[in-house]
Amino acid sequence: MKVTNDIKYIGVNDRDIDLFEGQYIVPNGMAYNSYVILDEKIAVLDTVDQNFKQEWLNNLKGVLNGKIPDYLIVQHMEPDHSANILEFTKIYPNAKIVASSKAFIMMKNYFGTDFAEKQIVVGEGDKLSLGKHNLTFVTAPMVHWPEVIVTYDETDKVLFSADGFGKFGAWDTDEDWACEARRYYIGIVGKYGAQVQSLLKKAATLDIKIICPLHGPVLTDNLGYYINLYDIWSSYGVESEGVVIAYTSIYGNTKKAVELLAQKLEEKGVKVAVNDLARCDMAEAVEDAFRYGKIVLATTTYNADIFPFMREFINHLTERNFSNRTIAFIENGSWMPMATKVMKNMFEKSKNINYAQNNVKILSALNEESVAQINALAEEISK
């Protein structure tokens, strides 16, 4: 695939994978992207997952058309991008490897060598001329690994963004970009919002016409749309108005309360996303929690604590710096409800959290009092 006249796509699609990073469901597969810049000097940017070594090498050979690459630029050392570095050096022994100093340390860990005789160590603002194309390297530590760099081609105004602006799904999948990019970002990069904000500030100084990520499609049109979403996600802002209800229910009574609340909110014209944490894709529920501005957590007291799926869900939120949200609670307990207290304590380190005044307490099953509390909560959070 041609990105520009001189930049070619040589990545692969993985349509056999079921879980990315061993946990994220990817029904439309995954793309592992790699690129070649053809100039007086030829640069290859990143490799792909080890399962696609031969396909990638064939793609590379086809684009080179008998030529020999001068550089392999390694932006990110996660194995789905770096697995074939050693094989590349065997086939193209004269090529230099361009990477950050921390990346070379990781290469020693992965391959038993740091390729000392091939190293070109780059840092913030360093440049590499290929002839017509002049590359500038920008450090992006903890987006989402410490060794990450991104590469800007001044000639074609292309940002090679490493895992930034990536998404789940094969690169040619016909689906809404934002949905799977949001789930990818929040699940994998979401903890590092401050670092992404720093990278976005650097990117704002560049004239970018094309974004080439390591996952998902090359972005060429309406780049402001994608950058704006990244700004919202990385600043933990509210992307969409609405209420997320995340719940667990053992015998169905908490579920009834959730269904009643959702009905009341929808009658008031509020967008509601309901997630049964025992049955839904947890990553989808986490995505919803970061997308909307208000969240209701409904669960039972369980072993003097809360139901395990709810504890797992809240842990996913807090480890990703959940903040700038309104939280309400529905608790259920037959003799000593304490779920609200437990859940609220789990957010004690979260920033800019506003707690609803009208929470709901259920003693086993709904009654007039708890229904009235649900009505009051619906009234409060619908405003």
From-to residues of CATH 3.40.50.360 in the chain: 240-381
**Per-residue confidence (pLDDT) for residue 172, from 0 to 100:** 85
Q: Does pLDDT of 125 surpass 90?
A: yes
Mean pLDDT for the stretch of residues 273-280 = 97
The average confidence (pLDDT) of the chain is: 96
Q: Is residue 108 classed as helix, strand or coil in its secondary structure?
A: helix
Taking only the tens place, the pLDDT of each residue in 223-271 is 999 999 999 999 999 999 999 999 999 999 999 999 999 999 999 999 9
The model's pLDDT over 162-202, given as tens digits with 9 standing for 90+, comes to 999 999 999 888 899 999 999 999 999 999 999 999 999 99
pLDDT of 304: 86
Q: Is the pTM of this model over 0.85?
A: yes
Instruction: Look at residue 134 in the predicted model and tell me its pLDDT.
Output: 98
Q: For the range 310-317, what are the long-range contacts, defined as Cβ-Cβ under 8 Å and sequence gap of 24 or more?
A: 310/246, 310/247, 310/248, 310/277, 310/339, 310/343, 311/346, 312/277, 312/282, 313/246, 313/277, 313/282, 313/285, 313/286, 314/343, 314/346, 314/347, 315/346, 316/282, 316/286, 317/286, 317/289, 317/290, 317/350
Q: How confident is the model at residue 336 (pLDDT cuts 50, 70, 90)?
A: confident
Residue 334 has pLDDT above 90, yes or no: no
Percent of the chain with pLDDT over 70: 100
Confidence of residue 1 (pLDDT cuts 50, 70, 90): confident
Work out the average pLDDT over 137-152.
Answer: 96
pLDDT given at position 34:
98
CATH number for the domain running over 240-381: 3.40.50.360
Q: What's phi and psi for 364, nearest 5 deg?
A: 75, -60
Domain limits, CATH 3.60.15.10, in the chain: 7-234
The pLDDT-based confidence of 335 (bands split at 50, 70, 90) is confident
User: CATH assignment of 7-234?
Assistant: 3.60.15.10
Q: What is the pLDDT of residues 100-120, one digit of tens each?
A: 999 999 999 999 999 999 999
